[in-house]
């Protein structure tokens, strides 16, 4: 493997697949691994991404739709079997696509054999694989920790007379990563998939695995700048100092990195790490390129769509990324409202351009490339456990099936089948097939950006520099590698803005978010329409 392709995670674009909603191949209304295989040519050729990240497909009671794993080393029959997984890997690799799988190390399902043993009696050898504690003298939980999905994070176990810890649902008991046997068992899980040939891991709530060893109470949060990235419900009112992110977590990720590096070529890791404090967030890169390759950067999900705010976010990311580290950006995933609903269509087009032109690895969420919107689902029909427990947090809206065709069930599942979540009302217009024929479509904008990025060294690996001065409502930057310089400019306002970029010499437009504009332009008078974005090249 040459150096270039060994660094695919740096050069490439990652595409997240939520398997339940991507493509169903057997007419049960739920997407599956064979469905992913069936769409492999779309991923490789029509879209042109470099890697896919598969959300969990392991055996699971599906209390949290696969993030409650009952066997880490198999495939849930709903999604297929190990042979189908191996085929998926082969088909992806044949097309030059890397495969990243989701690993859920913080918690198992309460149906996992480890937990069933652990809760069977206090003397079971696996008792200490989970976090068990006595009640306080008045019978209440051992401390004041809250579960992300609502309520206390402690569940009473009648049979053995102790509480167990669960940072999410009570069906998702937290593993005790301070127990060396747990560490060994989980590192063996990583090895199981590495030996099968996966290229990397997306690590679910990576920082949660180490808690304060004394399980101290969390204080109330009085300073919003210090709290959660997205404070929700009672959970968002506490400062989560002790229930996650204990510094001992870094030793675990150093060990994981050693394991990843022991494979040829070395494999990759990206951690789901929602931390507001940039300096702390960046510690997950390690001290010397020895922990995660990347902590996911969710900042664009919470930054107002304004020129100055976006620039500040990008510069904050640039300033904390260590010299050996590589930035990354995310605009959507299975936990977040749809990009096109959050920002509206015009800004979502700018967002696509921003994501695919910043310095850093972009991760796309399936369906965002068609401009899929949130689908409103009445509460009584909602399936997401979080949405059912904490008003306003439901994620079904952004997990509805991928819209492939204007035909029955949008090509997601067979005619007559019932998709596990309803399809968007607008799928006959917003879908892959229809958009492929429309040069102005969302999909074709993504395709143009992806194709240009693929052949531009400046965009893939070049340096970033903000361009000044520009009108206040504009955000402009350059990306440069060798003798290639690309300029990206956005007008984030309702009126036309003029840029004078004549100091850069001659300029040609490559891609516009709005108009079919290309070719050379008078660099002294570059007019950007309201909410337009341009990719330009210095010639």
171 belongs to the binding site for ligand NOJ (CB under 6 A): no
Q: How far is the CB of 536 from ligand NOJ (least distance, A)?
A: 36
Please report, as residue ranges, which positions from 367 to 396 form the binding site for ligand NOJ (by CB under 6 A). Answer: none
Please give the Cα distance from 472 to 485 (Å, whole number): 23
Nearer to ligand NOJ, 349 or 395 (CB): 395
Q: How far is the CB of 221 from ligand NOJ (least distance, A)?
A: 21
* 14 neighbors 362 (Cβ within 8 angstroms): yes
* 453 neighbors 54 (Cβ within 8 angstroms): no
Nearer to ligand NOJ, 335 or 435 (CB): 335
Nearer to ligand NOJ, 24 or 102 (CB): 102
Q: Which member of 54, 131, 203, 205 binds ligand NOJ (CB under 6 A)?
A: 205
The mark string for 280-319 relative to ligand NOJ (x by CB under 6 A, - otherwise) is ----------------------------------------
The CA distances from residue 36 to 55, 67, 412, in Å, are: 12, 19, 11
Q: Which residue has the closest beta carbon to ligand NOJ?
A: 67
Q: Which member of 24, 64, 336, 532 binds ligand NOJ (CB under 6 A)?
A: 64
- Catalytic annotation, pick one of 64, 76, 91, 272: 272
Q: What is the CA radius of gyration of the chain?
A: 24
Is residue 277 annotated as part of the catalytic site, yes or no?
no
Q: How far is the CB of 127 from ligand NOJ (least distance, A)?
A: 23
168 belongs to the binding site for ligand NOJ (CB under 6 A): yes
The mark string for 8-47 relative to ligand NOJ (x by CB under 6 A, - otherwise) is ----------------------------------------
Please report, as residue ranges, which positions from 320 to 359 form the binding site for ligand NOJ (by CB under 6 A). Answer: 334-335
Q: How far is the CB of 149 from ligand NOJ (least distance, A)?
A: 8
Please give the Cα distance from 260 to 196 (Å, whole number): 13
- Catalytic annotation, pick one of 68, 204, 291, 435: 204
Q: How far is the CB of 59 from ligand NOJ (least distance, A)?
A: 15
SS3 268: strand
Nearer to ligand NOJ, 7 or 205 (CB): 205
Number of residues that bind ligand NOJ (CB under 6 A): 9
Q: Which long-range contacts (CB under 8 A, 24 or more apart) does 416-422 make?
A: 416/27, 417/24, 417/27, 417/28, 417/29, 418/29, 419/24, 419/29, 420/20, 420/21, 420/29, 420/30, 420/383, 421/21, 421/375, 421/377, 421/383, 421/396, 422/375, 422/377, 422/381
Please report, as residue ranges, which positions from 81 to 110 form the binding site for ligand NOJ (by CB under 6 A). Answer: 104
Name the packing angle between helices 442-455 and 345-355 (round to 10°): 10
Nearer to ligand NOJ, 63 or 474 (CB): 63
204 belongs to the binding site for ligand NOJ (CB under 6 A): yes
Q: How far is the CB of 333 from ligand NOJ (least distance, A)?
A: 7
Q: How far is the CB of 266 from ligand NOJ (least distance, A)?
A: 25
Q: How far is the CB of 475 from ligand NOJ (least distance, A)?
A: 29
Q: How far is the CB of 200 from ligand NOJ (least distance, A)?
A: 16
Nearer to ligand NOJ, 20 or 359 (CB): 20
Is residue 204 annotated as part of the catalytic site, yes or no?
yes
The CA distances from residue 362 to 16, 197, 274, in Å, are: 10, 23, 17
76 belongs to the binding site for ligand NOJ (CB under 6 A): no
Nearer to ligand NOJ, 387 or 462 (CB): 387
Nearer to ligand NOJ, 66 or 419 (CB): 66
How many Cβ atoms from other residues are within 10 Å of residue 6's Cβ?
A: 14
**φ, ψ for residue 83, nearest 5 deg:** -65, -40
Nearer to ligand NOJ, 55 or 409 (CB): 55
SS3 141: coil
Only one residue has tokens 């702390």, namely 280
Residues 6+ apart with CB under 8 A from 192: 72, 73
| Tokens of residue 127, six digits | 């008792």
Please report, as residue ranges, which positions from 215 to 274 form the binding site for ligand NOJ (by CB under 6 A). Answer: 272
Sign of CA dihedral 461, 462, 468, 473: negative
| No. of helices (H) and no. of strands (E), the chain | 17, 19
Strand partners, 329: 362
| Tokens of residue 208, six digits | 């949660």
Strand partners, 201: 101, 269
The mark string for 416-455 relative to ligand NOJ (x by CB under 6 A, - otherwise) is ----------------------------------------
* 386 neighbors 394 (Cβ within 8 angstroms): yes
- Which segments of 248-337 does DSSP mark as H helices, in order? 249-261, 278-282, 307-320
Active site residues: 204, 272
Q: Which residues contribute to the site for ligand NOJ (CB under 6 A)? A: 64, 67, 104, 168, 204-205, 272, 334-335
């Amino acid at each position: 493997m040459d150096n270039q392709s060994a660094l695919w995670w740096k050069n490439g674009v990652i595409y997240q697949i939520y398997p339940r909603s991507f493509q169903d191949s057997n007419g049960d209304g739920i997407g599956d691994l064979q469905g992913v295989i069936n769409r492999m040519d779309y991923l490789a050729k029509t879209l042109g991404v470099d890697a896919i990240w598969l959300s969990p497909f392991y055996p699971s009671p599906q209390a949290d739709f696969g993030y409650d794993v009952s066997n880490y080393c198999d495939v849930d029959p709903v999604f297929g079997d190990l042979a189908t997984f191996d085929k998926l890997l082969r088909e992806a690799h044949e097309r030059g696509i890397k495969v990243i799988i989701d690993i859920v190390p913080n918690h198992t399902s309460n149906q996992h054999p480890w937990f069933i043993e652990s809760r069977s009696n206090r003397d079971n050898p696996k008792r200490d694989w989970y976090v068990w504690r006595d009640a306080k003298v008045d019978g209440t939980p051992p401390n004041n920790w809250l579960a992300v999905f609502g309520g206390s994070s402690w569940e009473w176990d009648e049979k053995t007379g102790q509480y167990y810890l669960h940072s999410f649902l009570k069906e998702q008991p937290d593993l005790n990563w301070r127990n060396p046997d747990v560490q060994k068992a989980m590192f063996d899980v990583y090895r199981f998939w590495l030996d099968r040939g996966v290229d990397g891991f997306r690590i679910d709530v990576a920082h949660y695995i180490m808690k304060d060893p004394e399980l101290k109470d969390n204080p109330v949060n009085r300073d919003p700048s210090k709290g959660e990235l997205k404070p929700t419900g009672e959970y968002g009112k506490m400062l989560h100092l002790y229930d996650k992110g204990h510094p001992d977590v870094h030793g675990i990720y150093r060990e994981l990195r050693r394991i990843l590096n022991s494979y040829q070529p070395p494999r990759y890791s990206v951690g789901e790490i929602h931390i507001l404090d940039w300096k702390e967030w960046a510690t997950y890169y390690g001290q010397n390129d020895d922990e995660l390759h990347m902590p996911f950067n969710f900042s664009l999900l919470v930054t107002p769509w304004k020129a100055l705010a976006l620039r500040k976010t990008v510069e904050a990311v640039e300033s904390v990324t260590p010299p050996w580290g590589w930035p990354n950006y995310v605009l959507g995933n299975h936990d977040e409202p749809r990009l096109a609903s959050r920002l509206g269509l015009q800004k979502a087009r700018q967002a696509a351009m921003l994501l695919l032109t910043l310095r850093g690895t972009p991760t796309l969420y399936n369906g965002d490339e068609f401009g899929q919107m949130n689908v409103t689902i009445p509460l009584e029909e909602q399936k997401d456990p979080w949405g059912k427990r904490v008003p306003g947090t439901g994620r079904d809206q952004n997990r509805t099936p991928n819209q492939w065709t204007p035909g029955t069930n949008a090509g997601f599942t067979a005619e007559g089948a019932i998709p596990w979540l309803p399809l968007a009302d607008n799928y006959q217009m917003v879908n892959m097939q229809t958009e492929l024929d429309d040069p102005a479509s969302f999909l074709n904008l993504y395709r143009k950006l992806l194709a240009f990025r693929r052949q531009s060294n400046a965009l893939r690996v070049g340096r970033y520099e903000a361009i000044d001065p520009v009108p206040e409502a504009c955000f402009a930057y350059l990306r440069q590698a060798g003798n290639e310089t690309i300029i990206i400019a956005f007008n984030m306002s309702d009126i036309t803005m003029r840029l004078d970029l004549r100091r850069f010499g001659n300029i040609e437009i490559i891609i516009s978010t709005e108009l079919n504009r290309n070719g050379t332009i008078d660099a002294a008078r570059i007019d950007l329409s309201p909410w337009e974005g341009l990719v330009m090249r210095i010639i």
